[in-house]
């Protein structure tokens, strides 16, 4: 299981300082809306300057008509990133169009699909999607698998069921991880590392428990120790 650290701080300077503090650890970095909208491509380049071995997950959650998503995916593949994502609710046609566009690109990034955001609890989710989280997230995962994607974003609670219904090598990446009982914030389906491990999660994403800590490098070290 890999640790992916969310770089969601209010400035590039703070994110780069965090990356510097954890540069000797074997971690992935997650660059999401806040950082990419503000700091763009140059920020990604600056992260790789700190440590060229950092793997970067560009978390932009594409959702649009198929051709627009494929155009965006193709542009993402020109950036030096190792993973990006789309929404599974964009549908199988959109996901297939994306994969057809990127599948022959040399060293293409991994492509994941968001199933049910970890900030949803079942009732709110059902109001929008008309189904319980576990069954709909599993269905989204099957759609993504059949469309040729590499994996999904889900919560640790759905990971096992998703693997059973797709393939054990189909990647699950789970935000909403609170390693040492930290505050959940806006996350609803919060899990700890043990549960993620039991449910065969491949990547855990941790943001606030690390970047709001006064000693982020120590938190990262403690998490990595639990992963080994």
Which DSSP letter does residue 76 get? H
Q: Which of 61, 126, 188, 226 is catalytic?
A: 61
CB 3 within 8 A of CB 204: yes
Give me the residue whose beta carbon is nearest to ligand C5P.
207
Which residue in 6, 76, 94, 223 binds ligand C5P (CB under 6 A)?
Answer: 6
Cα separation, 65 vs 215, in Å, equals 43
Rule CB under 6 A: which of 64-103 touch ligand C5P?
none
Which residue in 153, 162, 201, 219 binds ligand C5P (CB under 6 A)?
Answer: 153
CB of 106 to ligand C5P, least distance (A): 27
Cα separation, 137 vs 178, in Å, equals 21
DSSP lists the bridge partners of residue 153 as 114, 173
C-alpha Rg value of the chain to the nearest Å: 17
Please give the structure tokens belonging to residue 193: 């590392």
With CB under 6 A as the contact rule, which of the stretches 21-29, 113-121, 128-136, 195-203 interacts with ligand C5P? 113-121
Please give the structure tokens belonging to residue 140: 């989204």
Closer Cβ to ligand C5P, 59 or 143, answer by number: 59
Task: Work out whether 32 is an interface residue with ligand C5P (CB under 6 A).
Answer: yes
CB 58 within 8 A of CB 86: no
- For the question of residue 61 being annotated catalytic, the response is yes
Chain residues that interact with ligand C5P, rule: CB under 6 A: 6, 8, 32, 59, 114, 117-118, 153, 175-176, 185, 187, 205-208
**Residues labelled catalytic:** 61
């Amino acid at each position: 299981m890999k640790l992916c650290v969310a770089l969601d701080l209010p400035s590039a300077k703070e994110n780069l300082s965090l990356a510097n503090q954890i540069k000797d650890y074997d971690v992935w970095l997650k660059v999401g809306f806040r950082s990419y909208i503000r700091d763009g491509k140059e920020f990604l380049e600056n992260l790789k300057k700190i440590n060229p071995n950092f793997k970067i997950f560009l978390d932009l959650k594409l959702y649009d008509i198929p051709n627009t998503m494929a155009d965006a995916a193709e542009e993402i593949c020109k950036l030096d990133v190792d993973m990006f994502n789309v929404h599974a609710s964009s549908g199988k046609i959109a996901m297939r169009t994306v994969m057809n566009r990127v599948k022959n690109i040399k060293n293409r990034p991994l492509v994941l699909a968001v199933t049910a955001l970890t900030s949803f609890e079942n009732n709110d989710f059902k109001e929008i999607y008309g189904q319980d989280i576990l069954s709909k997230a599993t269905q989204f995962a099957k759609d993504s698998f059949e469309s040729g994607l590499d994996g999904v974003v889900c919560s640790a609670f759905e990971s096992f069921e998703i693997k059973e219904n797709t393939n054990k090598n189909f990647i699950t990446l789970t935000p909403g991880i609170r390693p040492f009982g930290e505050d959940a914030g806006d996350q609803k389906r919060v899990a700890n590392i043990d549960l993620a491990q039991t449910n065969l999660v491949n990547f855990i994403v941790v943001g606030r428990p690390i970047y709001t800590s006064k000693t982020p490098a120590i938190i990262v070290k403690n998490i990595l120790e639990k992963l080994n």
